[in-house]
Structure 1
Amino acid sequence: MPDYKAVFNQHDLFARRNGMAITECGPGWAKAEMTVQPHHLNGAGTLHGGAMYTLADFAFACACNTHGDLAVAIACTMNYHRAVQQGVVRVQIREVARTKRIGTYAAELTDENDTLVASFTGTAYARPGVPLPSLAPPQ
């Protein structure tokens, strides 16, 4: 099995640019985290909802692509429960159900005190036989 943690940490430039990293992953699940920086804050001085969404989406991308076929998001929902001003935000995502082409995933985002700050659900569409581009053999 490829080292999906390394693949996503190296090739997802948007997540990397925003200080996000996959910390662990396996078939159908992933964990990621980010340390809140001043450029992640919104006008109210709290972590921007888009930053939390990006962290969840990054973990979702890793989790749904650990089966060897390219998978892409087709629907996502994010619920915000608490504001975050500083510290580390972590996400854990797991596969809830999967068929040949459709997978459903659920995630919880927590602050550094393990307080739930947001929840995320995502649905992915897999393309059997199509590898993740960063794992495809050179042509």
Structure 2
Amino acid sequence: MDMQWFLDRDAFAKSLGIRLIEVAPGYARTAMDITANHRNGAGIAHGGAIFTLADLAFAVAANSHGKLSLGVAASIAYIKAGLGSTLFAEAREISLGSKLATYVVTISNDNDEVIASMQGTVYRKDVPYTRETA
């Protein structure tokens, strides 16, 4: 499933160097190499960068069904310091209704350690959203 067009339309995510690794209906995996620009004052990955990585995976998974889906709620728990050279976010759909859908996103580092967990809910509009309609 090709959702690269979705990332191409997201200038903020692209500016952070986020890339799509894998996409399937209701699923997305993203990655971001950590550079000095991604680090906070303590020298670890900034919480905002981690959230943005997770948010893009969440958005791609939600919009992968071809129906415009907009986040209405999201919360994140930072479990471990954002260490490592690359971070990954894996979004999985846990509930899909006609108007609402819920996703769980697991954020891990290149040592396969879970560093954060996010849950998000989208509102699914009655509007097609594909490469052709975007």
Which residue among 64, 67, 91 is the counterpart of 2:65?
67
Secondary structure, aligned partner of 1:58: helix
Report 1:121-132 matches (<5 A). Answer: 121-128=119-126, 130-132=127-129
Q: Shift of the alpha carbon at 1:120?
A: 0.4
Q: Which position in structure 1 is the counterpart of 2:85?
A: 87
Q: Is the 8 A contact 1:29 1:63 kept in 2?
A: yes
Where 1:56 maps in the other structure, the secondary structure is helix
* Alignment correspondent of 1:136: 133
Secondary structure at the aligned position of 2:37 is classed as helix
- What is the DSSP-based 3-state SS (H/G/I as helix, E as strand, rest coil) of the residue aligned with 2:128? coil
Q: Percent identity?
A: 36
How many residues are paired up?
Answer: 134
Runs of 4+ in 1 over 6 A off after TM superposition: none
State the 1:13 CA deviation. Answer: 1.2
| 1:8 and 1:22 in contact (8 A); partners too | no
**Residue of structure 2 in register with 1:30 after alignment:** 28
Unaligned runs of 5+ in 2: none
Greater share of strand: 2
Q: AA paired with 2:70?
A: V
* 1:131 partner amino acid: P
Where do 5+ consecutive residues of structure 1 fail to align? none
- CA displacement at 1:76 relative to structure 2: 0.3
State the Cα RMSD in Å.
1.5
